[in-house]
Amino acid sequence: MKKRFGLWLLAAAAIVAGVVALAAFTAQVVNITAHVEKDIAVEPVICQTPSDPTVPCYVDPRGGDFGVVLPQEFYVKIIEVTLSNSFFEQDRFFDLGFDLLWECKQFSDERDVIDNLDGIDNDLDGRIDEDRLNFRDDDGDTLKDEDPPGDPIGTTEPDGFPDCREDGLNDDICAVDLDGDGIPDTVRHCDEEKLDGNLRKHVAVRSLFLPVRCIAGLGPGSKMPPHMKIRHIGSGVLSIGAPKCRYELKLTTPVCEGSFNPFTDPVPTLPKAIRCHLADKDRDGNAGLRNPQDFDEFADLGDDFKIQVLYHSGFP
């Protein structure tokens, strides 16, 4: 009997040991996921009463394009900046702060992929067209704020430069035969993304809601060095209690050089003249005869109105 009981204990011990040994190789899994969504929405909109935050606006199908504009006229775009639906669906943050910036339009395939730390040689002459500058110590910690952490001041290195469309390497105008009849129908830049200059010089930005909330203060964007071609407009705050800001962008169109005389112009305070291109569009289809209506003077201007989120704040 004792012998059988001893054998039973040995068998039980072996089973327990086997279970322990097997348990040492089991695993537990915790599923970790996150659904990332944007925190704000920014759109050109059409509004009946743009200064009333209780009346909804609707996305402008034309976007931010003013289209063909005539000289010395006024054109208006309304931009709405609002918290996204995703912001209301999360429960950690109550508000966010942002900078309003003008930023030069960059080539579509280079905004996120180019590395401009060496500056830009736009005309391919082997020299950097933008000035090389020392990095700056904006916060007084003896470190270059625009350089990797821990790199001391004292060496001459270039800042990063956006590759702006007005600085494109090809400024030539090319004749384009749209209908294949051998006659140039219109002219465009050789690079269709090329711009003749910045639009921001001719646009006044005004907050349609409480300015102290939507366009006041000086955020980090106010320190943008001018060679970065980014200009600070103001700073704002959106919260769950006040989730929207709207801005009026009022364009006062300039005139082409040779068409503006401040001594005789009825509105001498409008923007100065800009350099334009003369285009022979040959609308009458007769290349041998020149019709006055065949000629156009034009300039392509542009900029990006940018909202840069700076921080998120938790519930009070």
pLDDT band for position 244 (50/70/90)? very high
Q: How confident is the model at residue 161 (pLDDT cuts 50, 70, 90)?
A: low
| 287-310 mean pLDDT | 81
Which range has the worst mean pLDDT, 159-163, 196-200, 220-224, 235-239? 159-163
* pTM across the whole model: 0.72
CB neighbour class for 77 (10 Å; exposed up to 12, middle 13-18, buried from 19): buried
Q: How is 213-259 classified by DSSP, letter by letter?
A: HHT-S--GGGG--GGGTEEEEEEEEEESSS-EEEEEEEEE---BTTS
Q: Phi/psi zone of residue 291: left (φ > 0), alpha (ψ -120 to 50 degrees), beta?
A: beta
**134 three-class SS:** coil
Q: Residue 238 pLDDT > 70, yes or no? A: yes
Q: How far apart are CA 53 and CA 247, in angstroms?
A: 12
The confidence score (pLDDT) of residue 76 equals 96
Q: Is the pLDDT reported for residue 145 higher than 60? A: no
- Residue 169's alpha-carbon distances to 23, 157, 228, 276, in angstroms, are 68, 23, 18, 18
What average pLDDT does range 288-309 have in this prediction?
Answer: 82
The confidence score (pLDDT) of residue 158 equals: 41
Q: What is the three-class DSSP state of 135?
A: coil
Say whether 23 sits in a helix, a strand or coil. Answer: helix
Q: How many Cβ atoms from other residues are within 10 Å of residue 62's Cβ?
A: 11
> Which of 63, 68, 65, 100 shows the shortest CA–CA distance to 215?
100
C-alpha–C-alpha distance, residues 160 and 118, integer Å: 7
pLDDT in tens, 125-134: 665 544 333 4
115 pLDDT tier (thresholds 50, 70, 90): very low
Count of alpha carbons within 13 angstroms of residue 231, beta-carbon side = 13
Query: What separation, in Å, do the N-terminal and C-terminal C-alpha atoms of the chain show?
Result: 75
Read off the pLDDT of each residue in 109-117 and give the average, rounded to a whole number: 48
Q: How confident is the model at residue 117 (pLDDT cuts 50, 70, 90)?
A: very low
Confidence of residue 295 (pLDDT cuts 50, 70, 90): confident
Segment 250-265 shows an average pLDDT of: 81
The CA-CA-CA angle for residues 298, 300, 302, to 5°, reads: 150
Please choose, from the candidates 232, 198, 196, the residue with its C-alpha nearest in 3D space to the C-alpha of residue 306.
232
Which residues neighbour 188 within 8 Å (Cβ) at sequence distance 6 or greater? Answer: 173, 174, 176
Q: What is the pLDDT of residues 16-72, one digit of tens each?
A: 555 555 556 778 899 998 888 889 999 999 999 999 999 999 999 999 999 999 988
Domain positions in the chain are 37-116+162-314, 117-161
Which helix (DSSP H) or strand (DSSP E) does residue 88 occupy? helix 85-89
